[in-house]
Amino acid sequence: MHDLTMTRSRDSEAAYLTVARELRAAILRDDYADGTRLPTEAELAEQYQVSRQTVRRAFQDLVAEGMVTRVPGRGTFAAARDGQYLRQFGSIEDLMGLSLDTTLELIRPLQRKIDLDAASRLRLSSDLVYTAVFRRVHEATPFCLTTVHLPPAIGKTLEDVAELTEPGTTSTATVIGLLDTRLDSPVAEAEQSITATTASPAIATHLACSPDEAVLRIDRLYYSTTAQPVELATSYFLPEHYSYRVRLRRSVR
């Protein structure tokens, strides 16, 4: 079984979120096949050096996502997905985790182009950007179609990366993962907007759906730890493959 040793990131996120994230990643890697029982609350509490209440809260998140089921008196089990691919995104780590179980298929290699809108959103002084188009596939099922725009200085650092420059290449890479190995300041956060739209003929072809079928458009603008925009990504998802969760808090005086 994959080692779920807890990364020491409690300064940046609550402990239960870290436990939930690592258990989610293990389930997506098929460390726990459909119906397999996960370790008990006590076992996980000892492994992660947290309280049982923290583990219980992590399990609650995974139950809400449909990743696990809890059976009183028996334990917590990985839920059967019946071939359906549903991903939950709530952090940069979740996005980087796409490399665990999806494949990147390069459609349009990284190239220089003029794009006024992308350049403006990336806060560039010129209209030149580097752009690539790819889709992600899970077990032969198209998962999303993405267009990525990069500032020229950053795009140049990826000109020798086969995953983004050789037509037809398939890989498990993520763009933010590739950037993390090349940027002086790593990706730290992203602004995200989600809108509903309909699939154009090109989008429909790549997502294997009908033209004008409802899809979700996800725009993400990524920033480095120095607050510099480093990537603009526009992705189209079929709604049945995308789940977004956010915790809302009330300000109590």
Query: pLDDT tens-digit profile of 51-77?
Result: 999 999 999 888 877 778 888 888 999
Which CATH number fits the domain that encloses residue 114? 3.40.1410.10
pLDDT in tens, 97-148: 555 568 899 999 999 999 999 999 999 999 999 999 999 888 788 889 999 9
Q: For residue 8, is it within any domain?
A: no
Q: CA angle, 183 as apex, 182 and 188 as ends, to 5°?
A: 125
Are residues 100 and 213 both part of a single domain? yes
Range of the domain at 229: 87-244
Q: Which residue has the higher pLDDT, 178 or 88?
A: 178
Domain tally for the chain? Answer: 2
- Looking at the predicted structure, is the pLDDT value of residue 150 above 80? yes
CB 207 within 8 A of CB 198: no
Are residues 164 and 106 both part of a single domain? yes
Q: Assign 88 a pLDDT band (cuts: 50, 70, 90).
A: low
> What is the pTM for the complete model shown?
0.66
Q: Where are the alpha helices (DSSP H) in the chain?
A: 15-28, 41-48, 52-65, 92-96, 116-121, 152-156, 162-165, 175-180, 201-207
